[in-house]
Amino acid sequence: MQIKINRPATLQINPPDIFSTEYPLVKSNRIVRLDAYTDYLITSEYLIQDNPMNPTTLLIRASCIHDLLYRSIVNYFNVRDVLKSLGFIQVNSSSNGVKFKLDRAKYPTVRTIRAFRQQVLSNFTM
């Protein structure tokens, strides 16, 4: 006596994943790094509001460019590119040190650090 197994005519090689989502569950590595770097700038008080009571823009001030480096994420060779990707442009300052300000043409409504986190950092899609 032979046992007959009924098999479907075509087998799905890649069945649909029932656990798949339309968005990633984990932030991308770039977003995590930019968020960590932003936290570093805020906690070390390099990223400041120009006027705490009535802010009009955000500034990054440091005595030298080396102060803005952060672990292996931001080094001497990419610090200006990272700040540019965050929306900051370098300002020529007559005083000692380096100064960057948030590009008002790119982000006209960002005036506070909180708004920076909500509007600028959220622009980096996963």
Domain boundaries, the chain: 29-123
The b/e string for 26-58 (b: 16+ C-beta within 10 A; e otherwise) is eeeeebebbeebbebbeeeebbebeeeeebebb
Separation between Cα atoms, residue 32 and residue 10, nearest integer Å: 43
**Confidence band of 126 (pLDDT split at 50, 70, 90):** very low
Three-state DSSP class for 60?
A: strand
pLDDT for 7 equals: 61
Q: Do residues 31 and 117 lie in contact, with contact meaning Cβ atoms separated by under 8 Å?
A: no
| pLDDT tens-digit readout, 3-61 | 666 665 555 565 555 555 555 555 677 888 888 999 999 999 999 998 878 888 899 99
Please report how many Cα atoms fall inside a 13 Å half-sphere around the Cα of residue 117, on the Cβ side: 12
**Confidence band of 72 (pLDDT split at 50, 70, 90):** confident
